[in-house]
Every structure is written in structure tokens, then in C-alpha cells.
Amino acid sequence: MISSKIMTSLAQDVQELRELNNKPKEESLDFPQCRGMTFKEFWGWLHPDLNFHDEWKQLDNDMREHKRIWIKKCAGFGITTWFGTWIAWKCLKDNEWKKRQIDVNIPIIVGPRLDLAITIIQRIKDMFPIGSVTKTKEDTLILNGNKIRAYPSHHVAAAHGLNPLVVWADEGDFFPKGQQDKAREVLERYIAKTNPYLIWSSTPYLPGGLYEQIEEEPEDQCLYYRKFLLLDKALKVGHYTQEQVDIWKQSPSFMREAWGEYGYGVGDIFGEYVDDVIEEYSLERLGGRSGVYGDPGFGASDNASKFGICAGEVRDGVLYVLEVIEEARSSPSTMLDVIEEMAHRYDDNCKIDAAHAGFIRDLNERGVPAIPLNFGSPARQTEKSSTEKTNRDVNKETLKKIMPISASQMVKNKQIRIHPKFKLLISNMRAVKFDPKGGIDKSEKSFDIIDAFDMMCHDLKEFDYTSTSITYDGKIIGEDRPKSKSVIIKTEVVE
């Protein structure tokens, strides 16, 4: 007798064969009438109702001159349509790419979901006359023997080992943390192998991500030709009317989606109040109560945790940010030198995230009375009483939850001033948001500079818990340090 286990296995094999037979076979489509067409002619054949305006002409020229291009775009500019059309034209205008076909000529990397990969291929299919695209896989299109396939960013490893002629990362700034570096690795590893066109196109999202990193790379070190297609050009070519823009301006994300400013409309901790506290002022220390605050990070990749530092002082009851530093891939010895020098300039009032006990110990051995701040420790009684909750309730609140609220209230009450030169801090403040437990959401970005900023706000506000502090080795620091004026804030309770 055949065992039930074998019968089950046979049934599964039969089902898999049925599913395989039901899947659409890959069919190569061809439109011989497109041979010899220029791109403008092909655009007119494929999109008779879409104007081939000056920006499209310039982008066509750019693709002739540059094999690697990075585009930061305004939402709704039509870049996905443009590159889908350009790829189709390159496949159909002659047989050059067909002769070089080995596996997948054109891998397209999209967001983390399979349906996004299917959608972008479907958009290319939909460009062609109705009924001309029949049997083909959802994530694949074959034009004149050239295979185009879309890959979700979390399956980008599947694009390894190919022989592409084009690699396109669409909306690359929205790839999740960790997948951005992998996507860039996949794109750039082919330069030496097949020297393909490498294309990045995206509306910006979070500050400090891969997209902003490429944007800020020195000209002589950047692999890409960088192009900006933002609202000014969208208006010029008629993508939007001024009436549409006036309505769009009411959206919190307007500055990000229209003008390419990272972080706008993403966060909910500081919200629209960030712009209210930005102004120019002297960055020289004037002698008020001050401090330097560090959130160490020594990650190996650009998207890993960074070393965030903030320093500031209180002037007439207002906290002024004087220094902002965020270092990626920093060495402990280098950052010890930086913190040591800064601490002495700020009366040795130095607080460091307690998770890095070794770094704090090294600072103490250098003569810097750095004090650990434990984000998981409960809020002190003076802090708890201000929330107007019962002691039983507030005992559950930790500094991890209290500090972002304190910083948010100070910004809302305009008790903070941030110099416009601190663009990194400002963009992070616009993007940071609460997690479900009331702390900072770090699922997409580590926000190390915000941790340092929150520490500074908390330390220099009304509740001066640092007058007497005990270090890890039991030494009392600051016992005879006179208290100086701090920022006094009013706390709102949000139920």
C-alpha cells in the first residue's frame, strides 16, 4: 500500500504541475513598424495624446550622453511613463539589444511588495495598443526578444548574476532601510560586467537615506549625472496649473513632493511647528547654561546607526542649538576626540546614551565627566508631576517616551531656536514620528541626531536632574556645580 505521506506528496506535485500549466507562457512581442524610429517618433506612435515637451527632449539628450543618471523628481512629473517608453523604444527600434539578450536585459527594481513589481510592468504593457499584449507573466514583458522583469526590493538578490543592459530603480528613496544599500550594490556591480545604463528615479522621502547621500556626494566622486525635475519645471511644461498648485500647497507633504525637500509631511512629533523656530543667530557661546549630548553609533553601512551629537545653550529662557554633528561609519577613537574637545567648551556638561558604557568610561578616563542617560529609566518625580497624572500612572513612563514629548512641547512653544544652517537636524525633525508605544519610530531610519536633540532639550529644560549625578563607578559629579537658568516649559497632556 502507498503511505498517506507519499499520497500527499504526489497530490502536491500534481497541483504544482496544474498551476504551472495554467500560468501564461512567456511570449515575445514585436512591432516591426517601430524599426528605425527616433525616440520622439516612437513617443508619438505610442502616446499620440501626450506632448513631447522640451524637458522630455532634454532627458533624451541626457540619456545619450550619460549611462548613469540619478533623478529627483516632483510627484506626477511622468518619469515612470518616460522611462517605460524609452526602454520599450530601445528594445524595438532595432535588433541591437536582442542580439545581446542572455537572461534578463532590463531588471527594474521597485518597492518592497510584489504588487508594485506587477504594477510597473502592467503600466508598460498598457502603453501598447489594446489586445496586443496577451500571454505573459505578470512581472515580465518580452519585447523583440528582450526580457524586462520587475523585482521587489526585498527580492533584489534575484537580480544578481544577470547580464543587463539597463538597471532601473524606480522610487528608490522609498526602499526600506537596509534594502537601499543592497539595491545600489546590485546596480553598480554590473558596471565592470556589462556597463549598463543605471537609472535612479524617485520623489524624495526620508533625510539621510541613500537618495540624499547620492545627492550630496562630491562631484568628482559621484558615479551619476544628477538631474532635478521639480515643480518649477513641471509648471513650465504644463503638468500642473497654478490653481492645482495652490490647492496642493495645503498638503503637509507639499515641500517634499513638489520641491524635493526631504522629510516634509512624514513626521508627527514636531509637525508644522519646525519652521516657526528656524532663525539666524550667533553660534558663539555666550555663557548661558549649556551642554553637549551624544548618541553613539558605529554602523558599517550608510543606512546603519550613526553618531549623533547636539550642543546648545540657554539664552533668556530659550534654548539655542549651537552645534549639530552626525557621523556615519565613525571610529570610536575619532569620536572620543570630538566629544572631549566639545565637552570642555560646554563646561563639561556631557550626557551620552547609557547603552554605550565603554565609550562613557573612556571619556571619564580622559577627564570628561560624561554622564550616562538611560532611555529606559523611569521619569523622575518632578517630571512626572508636570503631566498631572497619578504617580501610579506616570511610574510607567520612561525617558524614551518623555523626552520626545518634552522636545515637541518646547518647539511648539517656540522655546527652541535652530539656525537654518543645521539642515540635517531640521529635515530629521520634519520626518521623525512616534511609534505605537510613544517613543521614536526607528523602523525606517535610526534618527540618531533626534535622540541627541531630545537629550539636550530634556537636560536643559526646567527639570535640572544633573546637578548631582552618579557615574557608573559610583563617583558623584557636579555636586558643587551651581544651577543656572534652564528653559521652563508647560507640558500638555494628550490622552
Q: Residue 20 pLDDT > 50, yes or no? A: no
Distances (CA, A) of 215 to 74, 142, 260: 15, 33, 11
Give 252 or 479, the one with higher predicted confidence.
252
Q: Residue 436 pLDDT > 90, yes or no? A: no
Give the model's pLDDT for residue 487: 56
Query: What's the DSSP call for residue 494?
Result: -
Distances (CA, A) of 193 to 102, 146, 188, 196, 444: 13, 18, 10, 8, 32
d(CA 17, CA 3): 21
Q: Work out the average pLDDT over 158-162.
A: 79
Give the model's pLDDT for residue 486: 52
469-481 pLDDT, tens digit each:
434 444 444 444 4
**What confidence tier does 400 reach under pLDDT thresholds 50, 70, 90?**
confident
Q: Residue 388 pLDDT > 60, yes or no? A: no
* Number of C-beta neighbours around residue 116 at 10 A: 18
* % of the chain with per-residue pLDDT over 70: 82
Residue given cell 524614551 in the structure block: 400
* % of the chain with per-residue pLDDT over 90: 60
Give the model's pLDDT for residue 56: 96
3-state secondary structure of 371: strand
Asked if residues 340 and 366 have their Cβ atoms less than 8 Å apart, the reply is: yes
Give 378 or 259, the one with higher predicted confidence.
259
220-251 pLDDT, tens digit each:
999 999 999 999 999 999 999 999 999 999 99
Asked if residues 72 and 205 have their Cβ atoms less than 8 Å apart, the reply is: no
Q: Which amino acid is at 50?
A: L
Residues in CB range of 292: below 8 A, 6 or more apart? 309, 310, 311, 323, 339, 342, 343, 345, 346, 349, 350, 351
| Lowest mean pLDDT across 120-134, 195-209, 329-343 | 120-134
Distances (CA, A) of 431 to 75, 268, 299, 446: 18, 8, 21, 11
Number of H helices, E strands in the chain: 18, 16
d(CA 278, CA 209): 23
Domain(s) of CATH 3.30.420.280: residues in the chain: 271-477
Give 209 or 381, the one with higher predicted confidence.
209
Give the model's pLDDT for residue 135: 61
Average confidence score pLDDT of the chain: 84
Residues in CB range of 334: below 8 A, 6 or more apart? 327
Give the model's pLDDT for residue 301: 52
Give the model's pLDDT for residue 465: 38
Q: Residue 488 pLDDT > 80, yes or no? A: no
Strands 469-470 and 476-477: antiparallel
- Nearest CA to 211 out of 233, 183, 251 is that of 183
304-322 pLDDT, tens digit each:
678 999 999 999 999 999 9
**What confidence tier does 404 reach under pLDDT thresholds 50, 70, 90?**
very high
Residue given cell 497619578 in the structure block: 390
23-55 pLDDT, tens digit each:
445 678 899 999 999 999 999 999 999 999 999
46-93 pLDDT, tens digit each:
999 999 999 999 999 999 999 999 999 999 999 999 999 999 999 999
User: Torsions phi, psi of 49, nearest 5?
Assistant: -100, 0
d(CA 30, CA 132): 9
3-state secondary structure of 228: strand
Q: Work out the average pLDDT over 171-189.
A: 88
DSSP 278-330: B-----S--SSSEEEEEE----SSTTS--EEEEEEEEETTEEEEEEEEEESS-
* Number of C-beta neighbours around residue 245 at 10 A: 14
Asked if residues 293 and 310 have their Cβ atoms less than 8 Å apart, the reply is: yes
Give the model's pLDDT for residue 415: 94
User: Torsions phi, psi of 297, nearest 5?
Assistant: -155, 135
Q: Work out the average pLDDT over 192-204.
A: 94
**What confidence tier does 327 reach under pLDDT thresholds 50, 70, 90?**
confident
In DSSP terms, 267 is beta-bridged to: none
Residues in CB range of 74: below 8 A, 6 or more apart? 203, 229, 230, 231, 233, 234, 239, 257, 258, 259, 260
Q: In sequence order, which ranges of 324-435 are alpha helices (DSSP H)?
A: 332-345, 357-365, 381-385, 391-394, 399-412, 423-431
User: Torsions phi, psi of 202, nearest 5?
Assistant: -165, 150
Angle at 143 between CA 141 and CA 144, to 5 degrees: 150
Give the model's pLDDT for residue 194: 92
Asked if residues 55 and 205 have their Cβ atoms less than 8 Å apart, the reply is: no
276-310 pLDDT, tens digit each:
999 999 999 999 999 999 999 876 554 567 899 99
Residue given cell 535640572 in the structure block: 464
Domain(s) of CATH 3.40.50.300: residues in the chain: 18-259
**Does pTM top 0.85 for this prediction?**
no
110-124, 276-290, 320-334: which is most confident: 276-290
271-477: CATH number: 3.30.420.280
122-140 pLDDT, tens digit each:
999 989 887 676 666 788 9
Q: Residue 150 pLDDT > 80, yes or no? A: yes
**What confidence tier does 468 reach under pLDDT thresholds 50, 70, 90?**
very low
First to last CA, the chain: 67
18-259: CATH number: 3.40.50.300
